[in-house]
Amino acid sequence: MRRGLVIGNWKMNINWHSAIALVDGIVADMPAVNADLVVCPPYLYIPEVSARITDTRLICGSQNIAAHAEGAYTGEISGSMLREFDCKYAIVGHSEHRKYYADDNVVVAKRYRQAIASGIVPILSTGDSLAQRKQGTTFEVVAKQIEDVIDIAGIDSFHHAVISYEPLWAIGTGRTATGEQAQEVLEFIRRLIDSKSPEIAEKIQILYGGSVKPENAKNLLAMPDIDGVLVGGASLDTDSFLKIYSSFQN
């Protein structure tokens, strides 16, 4: 049985004051659910968030990680820096980063590799565009996003990784994939991993992301291959975020 996982990606939202209120609210009301709950604040807020969640069940992650260990990479944050502030997870290859900063599969793989080298669990983000879905190339696109990482980091690294599928047409659009649409792709991802390592396929957590809300979380989490969700907009509200987390209960 794989453990459930809910990741809150705050993206570049909320000010300092609201960030503190949000994290304190989550900790105060966090129900006893047998799943892990992670928040990924903007880098600047990570030290404060980490300090506030020490000795709680809430976990801190980051929205990205540098592709290099150290050096002249202006604006980047390394895995060892994230570790200093107790970040346990790092999202790599989010579609917004692929789109606005031109991260290709190779750069994503290097970020992923740095996470592994730093003892941080990478959340390898994959996804198709609406055009790709219409062309019927969803599986091909997602397979390439994963295989390019396997080529560079090796399949064994997936013992310590999470994969998420976040269709671009569902992110921030209010248009969620149905449980069946998400399941179809997540099952495909698990089969792809199974073809390289049945052991990893059995245990790797695979998440769905894209307009996850309290109203649709239960249905998504009921699917056999959906081990958790990556939440953007709804993670900025304590109540919505905790309702999504509570969807694991029954």
Among 211, 238, 246, 247, binds ligand PGA (CB under 6 A): 211
Among 6, 230, 242, 244, binds ligand PGA (CB under 6 A): 230
- For residue 176, the minimal CB distance to ligand PGA (Å) is 8
* Whole-angstrom distance, CA of residue 137 vs CA of residue 135: 6
By beta-carbon proximity to ligand PGA, the closer residue of 52 and 218 is: 218
Residue 212 sits in the site that holds ligand PGA (CB under 6 A):
yes
* Whole-angstrom distance, CA of residue 97 vs CA of residue 120: 19
- Dihedral (Cα; 16, 41, 233, 34), 10-degree rounding: -120
Contact 30, 24 (CB under 8 A): no
Identify the active-site residue in 94, 147, 184, 199. Answer: 94
Contact 43, 57 (CB under 8 A): no
By beta-carbon proximity to ligand PGA, the closer residue of 174 and 224 is: 174
Residue nearest to ligand PGA (CB): 232
Contact 48, 20 (CB under 8 A): yes
- For residue 217, the minimal CB distance to ligand PGA (Å) is 11
Structure tokens at 221: 């989490």
Contact 193, 205 (CB under 8 A): no
Identify the active-site residue in 166, 184, 199, 202. Answer: 166
Residue 84 is a catalytic residue:
no
Contacts (CB under 6 A) with ligand PGA, residues 141-180: 166, 171-172
Among 8, 41, 210, 214, binds ligand PGA (CB under 6 A): 210
- Residues with Cβ < 8 Å from 169, sequence gap 6 or more? 128, 129, 130, 133, 175, 210
- For residue 165, the minimal CB distance to ligand PGA (Å) is 9
* Whole-angstrom distance, CA of residue 207 vs CA of residue 160: 15
- For residue 179, the minimal CB distance to ligand PGA (Å) is 16
Residue 166 is a catalytic residue:
yes
Hey, which residues are catalytic here?
A: 94, 166
Enumerate binding residues for ligand PGA (CB under 6 A): 9, 166, 171-172, 209-212, 230-234
